[in-house]
Structure 1
């Protein structure tokens, strides 16, 4: 099993290193990750600048992998096209420093790297750990490996895409594993209006984790209840059920001038 490991927190992130150690029990792991933190970049790719690649050593002096001065999607694209001698069997992105549940999935560089892997018809899994004052990445990595091995044991179709979120260790051991849809409600977002020393107005985004949520079970609710969440995703955003309806609209003929 050849595994490509990437992330959006950067090649030096503790979450990536913890997951690298665990995934080495599952297969041969190659790390190709951003040189710098890329949180919130979504599925951006680099078009106007060169992608600089450098070798990165682990804390024990052995080679950890490669850093790319680009986005998470850049890392996967470059890995498959240029840096690996053949495509990996599995792509894992994480462990992200903070959950990627609900609409945060749309902004996440962690998830975008997994989506890029699915573009290549490679099974791809994004892994994130709920934000906490003290992250326990080794424990999260152990849980993540068990989830990943379960996914692989069920032989998903090539190009399958999964988003996994692990609750904070502050909640205690996970209550269970829930396969749930992505939540689409907005929660906890806002902006704080401030003034700088020169009297200029600026805004700082705020975020409050969801508590006491109600409604249909989703990744946001299940995670807040202390469960590991697994969500199968797709990148085809076509609303197929509406195609026939929209085709039947009275569309104007092309304007020939």
Structure 2
């Protein structure tokens, strides 16, 4: 298949050496030109944080790969606003090595990198693999299956662009290509509150804490991203940057009038 005329900026939150991002870059090179800007280490959970208290080191480690001593958002921001001498056509973040479903998008560095791309005016996709969608929990991650379905989306996007305020959050079940049932448009589900923080004691006797695991699924019924991947579909959720609760503005005005 001939290359499509696109230049891809690739990032993630698992770090420059993650298997997922390298699988993604390999697939995208079959479609167009690729440049990787990824954190120098795992920055999972970094959300949309920008590094503003110090300069950020960017190490070029190949002709088309940069290791950034910062967050996923830093990576995309620096690439687009100064390091590259051209503007990419699309930002793709992933392949994250675990799900980004429901509330996960609030914390995910993978999703944040895509959001930053959209903030800067570029089409953007975040893509993740969902491990617990597989009956065999010990099955190895099949990043090639993820790349297969992502490729179909990208090829369709080239000639059928989405609205400029839309980010796609894509979650692919960890199944063989021929066992995935196709795409399903979904909304974000949500989880119960997170489990309690886990205290541990350091060698000097001081208490430290691990952040507790994410809560179990709460809203995970038909139509949600949780439900789609559990039933063997690729979940495609449209996200938007505007977080304003427009339907509550009238009620809020009336509430303020009571002051």
- Asked if TM exceeds 0.5, the reply is yes
Note the residue ranges of structure 2 that are not aligned, 5 or more in a row.
1-5, 132-136
1:22 aligns with 2:14: no
Correspondence 1:160-171 to 2 at 5 A? 160-169=166-175
Shift of 1:56: 1.7
Q: CA separation in 2, counterparts of 1:49 and 1:155?
A: 37
Q: Deviations over 1:232-255 (max 9, x none)?
A: 1001110111212222334489xx
Correspondence 1:108-187 to 2 at 5 A? 108-131=108-131, 133=138, 134-169=140-175, 173-186=179-192
Q: Deviations over 1:2-29 (max 9, x none)?
A: 1101111111110000000111122111
1:40 aligns with 2:12: no
Shift of 1:69: 0.3
TM-score, length-scaled by structure 1: 0.85
Shift of 1:209: 7.0
Correspondence 1:189-204 to 2 at 5 A? 189-191=194-196, 193=198, 196=201, 204=210
For the 8 Å contact 2:186–2:237, the answer to whether it is kept is yes
For the 8 Å contact 1:191–1:203, the answer to whether it is kept is no
Q: Deviations over 1:110-154 (max 9, x none)?
A: 000101111112110000011364212222212221122223332
RMSD: 2.6
Q: Deviations over 1:65-102 (max 9, x none)?
A: 11110000001110111112122111000000101011
Q: CA separation in 2, counterparts of 1:9 and 1:226?
A: 25
For the 8 Å contact 1:193–1:201, the answer to whether it is kept is no
TM-score, length-scaled by structure 2: 0.85
1:232 to 227, 238, 248: 238
Q: CA separation in 1, counterparts of 2:78 and 2:226?
A: 32
Note the residue ranges of structure 1 that are not aligned, 5 or more in a row.
58-62
